[in-house]
Amino acid sequence: MDKLINDFSVGLFFWQTLVFVTLIFVLRKFAWKPILEAVNEREASIKGALKQAEKARQEMESLQASNEAILKEAREERERILKEARDMKNNIVSEAKETAAVETEKTVAVAKAAIEAEKAAAVAELKNQAAVLSIEVAEKVLGQELSAENKQTAMISKMIDEVKIN
C-alpha cells in the first residue's frame, strides 16, 4: 500500500482523467456514434435483404405449390373427362348392342309370325284346295265311276296323290 501511495502522482492522475474524459466525448461524437450507426444500418439492411429473400423464397414456394396444385387438378380433370368419355362410349356401345339384339329378336319374331301366318294361310289354302279338289274329284268320280267301290277308292287315292302338297 505504501508503494502504491508513494507511486501515485497527482499530476498524472489529473491529466489522465482530463484527457480520458475528453477522449470519451470526442470519440463519441466523431467516431463511435457514426461507426455504430453505420454498422447498425448495414446490419439492418442485411437483415432486411435476408428477410426479403426469405419472403421471395416462400412466395416462390407457394407459387410452385399452387402451380403443382393446378397441374394436379388439370390432370385429375383430364382423367375424369377421359373416364367419362370411356364410360359414355361403353354405355353407348352396350346400349346399341342391346337395342340391336332387341330389334333382331323383334324382327325374327315378326318374321317367324309372318312365316307362321303364311304357313297357316298356306295350310288353310291347301286344305281349302284339297277340299275343293276332293269335292271336284268326288263329283267326277261320283259322276263316272261311282259304281265300283274299288274304282272309287282307287280314284280317290290317285287324286290325292295328284294333289300332294307341293
Partner 1 sequence: MISRITALFVFTGLLLINTPVLAQDYGHEEIHQEEEHVEHNAHAEPNLHGDHADTHDSQGDDSDIKSVVKETIEHHLADSYEFHVTEGVSFPLPVILLDDGLKIFSSSKFDHGHSIAEANGSYYVMHHNKVYKTDANGSLNFDKHDHPINPRPLDFSITKNVFMILVMAVFMVVLFGRMAKSYGPNKTPKKAGRFLEPIVIYVRDEIAIPNIGEKHYKRYMSYLLTVFFFIWFLNLVGMTPLGINVTGNIAITFSLALITFIITQVSGKRDYWMHIFWMPGVPVVLKPVMAVIELIGLFVKPFSLMIRLYANMLAGHVVLMSIIGLIFVFGSWLVSPAFFGLTLVLSLLELLVAALQAYIFTMLAALYFGSAVEEHDHH
Partner 2 sequence: MEIPEIVGAGLIVIGAGLGIGRIGGSAMEAIARQPEATAKIQTAMLIAAALIEGIGFAALFAK
Question: Which residues in this chain contact partner 2 in the complex, by CB under 8 A?
Answer: 1-4
Residue 1 near which of partner 2, partner 1, none (CB within 5-8 Å, type-dependent): partner 2
Extract the C-alpha cell encoding 140: 267326277
Nearest CA to 110 out of 98, 100, 121, 118 is that of 118
Neighbouring CB atoms inside 10 A of 91's CB total 10
Pairwise CA distance, residues 146 & 116, whole Å = 39
Q: In terms of CB distance, is 9 or 58 closer to partner 2?
A: 9
Residue 78 near which of partner 1, partner 2, none (CB within 5-8 Å, type-dependent): none
Amino acid at 91: N
55 CA to centre of own chain: 39
Summary count for the chain: helices (H), strands (E): 4, 0
Residue 12 near which of partner 1, partner 2, none (CB within 5-8 Å, type-dependent): partner 1
Q: In terms of CB distance, is 28 or 57 closer to partner 1?
A: 28
Q: In terms of CB distance, is 30 or 87 closer to partner 1?
A: 30
Site string for partner 1, 3-42 (x = CB under 8 A): -x--xxxxxxxxxxx-xxxxxxxxxx-xxxxxxx-xx-xx
